[in-house]
Chains A and B, each alone.
Chain A
Amino acid sequence: MAILSNEKTLLRLSMVAALALTMLPLPMSLLKPYWVALVLIYWVLESGYFRRLEVVFGLGLVMDLLTGTLLGQHALSLLIMTYLLLLFRQRIRFYPPWQMTLVVFALLLNDRILQLWVLWLAGQIPTWEYWLSPLLGAAIWPWFFLLLDRLRSRQRQRQS
C-alpha cells in the first residue's frame, strides 16, 4: 500500500471514494448517506484540512455538476456545514463517540433542512425518504470514523 504514503493522499482518496459512492447506483436511490459530508466532517475535525472555504465551495460545485443538482446547492450545503464545524471544532473533537454521533446527526439534519429550502424554491417537494439520509449517516458515522482513524494511524506507524 505504497499509495497511502502521506495523509494528503489518504484525504484525496477518501474524497474520491465518497464521490464514487455517491454516484453508485443502488436500488433505492434516496436511501443513501451524504458520503461527501461524512468524509468532510472527519477531516475538518481530525486535521487542519479544509480550512480554506474556497476549497469546500469548489468541492460542492464538483458534486453539483456530477449529481445534476442546481449549481451551488451542494456548494452552499458543504460551506455551511464546514463553517459550523470550524466554529465548534475545539469542543466537538473531544466529545465521546456517542455525543459526536449526535453532533453529526444534527449537522446532517440541518443540512437537509437547508437543501429542502433550496428544493422548495426550485419547485420540488421531496418524499419522506428524503429524511432518512441523516439517520443513515449518523448510524454509519462511528464505524466510518473508526475506519478512517485506523487507516491514518497505520500510515503514521509506517512513517515513523
Chain B
Amino acid sequence: MSMTATQQTRELSGYTTRLLVLGIVAIFLMSMDHRGHYLQALRNQAAHLTIPLYRALDWPQRALSDGLSYLTRQGELLARITELQAEQTRLRGELLQLATVLQENRELRELLEGVDVSSSELILADLVQVSMDPFSHRVVINRGLSSGVEVGMAVVDQAGLLGQVTESTLSGASVTLITDANHALPVRNLRNGVRTIAYGTGDLHVLAITDLPRNTDLTPGDLLVTSGLGSRFPTGLPVAEVIAIEVQDADRFARVRARPLAAMDQARQVLIVR
C-alpha cells in the first residue's frame, strides 16, 4: 500500500461522485417501486431466480421436519388418524348441506343477474419458510405455474383471505398479503351489503377503511367479505372483522379499523382459489 496523498485524494473524490450518482439512482428506483409499481416486470423476472433459491433454503428444514415426523410413535399416528376421520365425517355431512345451498344459490343468481358462477377449484400449497423483510408483507408458496397458480389468484387459509399471487414461476409463487400498505381490496359488509374498500396498513393485524361517510352503517363485530368488484377475487371470501370506528368531530369522514381473519403470521398451509 504505497499510495501517495494525491492519489488517495483523487480516489476519494471518485468515491464521492459515484456515491452521489448511485445514491440518486437508488432513490429513483425506490420511488418508482413505491409509487407506480413500474418495476413489477423486473420483480417478475427476478422471481425466476429468487424463488428456486428460497426453495433450496427451505429444503433442509423441510427434510428435518419430515424426518422428525417419521419418528412419531405409532400410537400417536393412530390417534391422529381417528381424529381426522371423525373430522372428515363431520365435514362430509356439512358438505351435503352445502351442495343443496350451492344449487339454490346458483339458481337464485341466474334469476337475479344471469351470471354463471362456476365453482372454484382449490390448490393446496405450503408456505416456504424464508424470512423476508418484516415490512414487505410478502410470503412465498411452494406451488407455481406448473400447478396452475397464476398471478392475481386469491390465497386463503382456513379462516379467511390472506392475499393475492403477485409473481408466479414454475416452482413457486410469491403472495402479497392484504395488509401490505399498498394493497386495496373491495369488500362488502356481510350484514347489510354496504360496499367499500379495505386498505392494508403495513400492520399485520390491521386493515383500514378511510373516507367513509359518517352515516355509513358499520358497527364493531361486522364481518367484511370480498365483494367481487374489480373481478380479481371470487365473491364472499371472509376478509376481516370490524373492531373500531373512529370519528373525529371536525371530520365528516369516519375511519374504520378491521382485524384480518386469516392468521397472517402463523399460516403454514394455504389454499389458492382459482
Residues of A within 8 A of B (CB): 20, 22-26, 29-30, 32, 53-54, 57, 60, 65-73, 75-76, 79-80, 83, 86-87, 118-119, 121-126
| Cβ contacts under 8 Å, B39 to chain A | 71
Q: Is the CB of B33 within 8 A of A68?
A: no
Across the interface, do A86 and B15 meet the contact criterion of CB distance under 8 Å? yes
**Consensus secondary structure, chain A interface:** helix
Closest to B140 in A: A68
Known A-B contacts: A72-B26, A76-B23. Give 14 more (CB < 8 A): A23-B57, A29-B131, A29-B134, A54-B18, A54-B22, A69-B133, A71-B29, A71-B43, A72-B29, A75-B29, A76-B26, A80-B19, A87-B12, A87-B15
**Chain A residues whose C-beta falls within 8 Å of the C-beta of B88 in the assembled complex:** none
- In the complex, how many angstroms separate the beta carbon of B140 from the nearest chain A beta carbon? 9
A65 to B44 CA separation, bound complex (whole angstroms): 10
Chain A CB count within 10 A is highest, among B26, B27, B129, B181, for B26
In the complex formed, the residue of A with least CB distance to B33 is A71
**B138 interfacial by beta-carbon distance below 8 Å:** yes
Task: Find out whether the CB atom of B134 lies under 8 angstroms from the CB atom of A30.
Answer: yes
Q: Is the CB of A26 within 8 A of B131?
A: yes
On whether the beta carbons of B27 and A24 are closer than 8 Å, the reply is no
Chain B residues near A79 (CB, 8 Å)? 19, 22-23, 26
Q: Note all chain A residues with C-beta closer than 8 A to B61.
A: 25
What size tier do the contact residues of chain B reach? 35 or more
- Residues of A contacting B111 in the complex (Cβ-Cβ under 8 angstroms): none
Please determine whether A25 and B129 come into contact, CB atoms closer than 8 angstroms: yes
B135 within 8 A of A: yes
How many angstroms between the C-alpha atoms of A23 and B53 in the bound complex?
10
* Residue of B with least CB distance to A68: B136
Neighbouring B residues of A123 by C-beta, 8 Å: 181, 202
Contact B53 A66 (CB under 8 A): yes
Contact partner of A86 (CB less than 8 A), chosen from B12, B29, B50, is: B12
A66-B33 in contact (CB<8A): no
Considering the chains assembled together, what is the distance between the CA atoms of A71 and B32 in angstroms? 9
Can you list 25 A-B contacts (CB < 8 A)? Answer: A22-B131, A23-B53, A30-B134, A53-B18, A57-B25, A67-B131, A67-B133, A68-B174, A70-B30, A71-B30, A71-B32, A71-B43, A72-B28, A72-B30, A72-B33, A73-B26, A75-B29, A76-B23, A79-B23, A80-B23, A83-B19, A86-B15, A87-B15, A122-B34, A124-B202
Which residue of the partner chain B has the closest CB to A126? B135
Chain A residues near B84 (CB, 8 Å)?
A: none
Q: Is B132 an interface residue (CB 8 A)?
A: yes
Q: How far is the CA of A23 from the CA of B138 in the complex (A)?
A: 13
Chain A proximity of B96: nearest CB distance (Å)? 40
Given A72-B27, A83-B19, verify A24-B131 contact (CB < 8 Å): yes
